[in-house]
A and B are shown apart, each in its own frame.
Chain A
């Protein structure tokens, strides 16, 4: 029995490590449904339906003495309302609360799809979906600014920082424009996408590699290592549950923060 040190080295052994190709999906029903009807798309639709149905159920039959389900729903609602919306937007929070709550629950559900049976794939590890949500948030905070200050008023507020001497304005205004209108949504989307992509990739490395080692013929050492790797993938998935919730929270907080800088009075 030879004890190869690198059984998963590319080339020999027939092991293909997980990679970018595992994030590409074909049509769910080739030939019948179009190409864009793939797994992430179905998950996004299911996630949206779940969010709508769960909040619809949660908002019916409210009792003064809450049941367990109502308690959980109210806990999440209050977390978004008090912890995010009211803390950041102060007196204007009511107008934006529905969007923030929907955004948070949609992100949470879709991120946790990465750890749940049947799905096992976080929707936002496809960058297009992250861009879509970022564009929606962009429309909300830019729209809120234009609505409150008018077209010129918002541009003036967003592009001309206070306390900057006039001769510096020409070199500073392009930066303000880029920061407010271009890099904000991009960083918003890429932060979410990269976290979900990397997390899913790490889980796949442990699962695929563990599965390869545990079925390796005539080598008990590899089999044990594969078993440990598979068990450890469960720990990584717990970590991913946490990261999914954290990224949903960060995306929501940043959206609220951008809205707040759009509509806040000058200080």
Chain B
């Protein structure tokens, strides 16, 4: 890539990348579960239903995975 002397590790196979990406995405998964699971729980609590919490958890997880793919999975 180019003629400017870049420090080693600027190329594609970066040293520690991989493990820490896996730990960064953990915060996304938790965020999805907490937010939509929480909304589902609140809905169940106030509407006296019992199916909103699992739906919220699954929806949150799916959205988290979608965001992770968008943020970390596109070609880089």
Contact = CB atoms under 8 A, between A and B. Distances in A.
Interface of A: 82-84, 86-88, 90, 161-164, 171-172, 174-176, 178-180, 182-184, 186-187, 191, 250, 253-254, 257-258, 261, 267
A182 B23 contact: no
Given A87-B16, A163-B74, A172 B30 contact: no
B58 interface: no
B31 A179 contact: yes
B20 A183 contact: no
Nearest to B16: A253
Contacts of A253: 16, 19-20
A87 B28 contact: no
A258 B25 CA distance: 11
How many B residues are at the interface, by size bracket?
20 to 34
Given A183-B27, A250-B23, A254-B23, A175 B35 contact: yes
A178 B35 contact: yes
A187 B33 CA distance: 14
Interface in B26-57: 26-28, 30-32, 34-35
Contacts of A176: 31, 67
Interface of B: 7, 9-10, 14-17, 19-21, 23-24, 26-28, 30-32, 34-35, 60, 63-64, 66-67, 70-71, 74, 76
A82 B9 contact: yes
B14 A87 contact: yes
B29 to A, nearest CB: 9
Contacts of B32: 175
A16 to B, nearest CB: 35
Contact of B76 (A164, A257, A267): A267
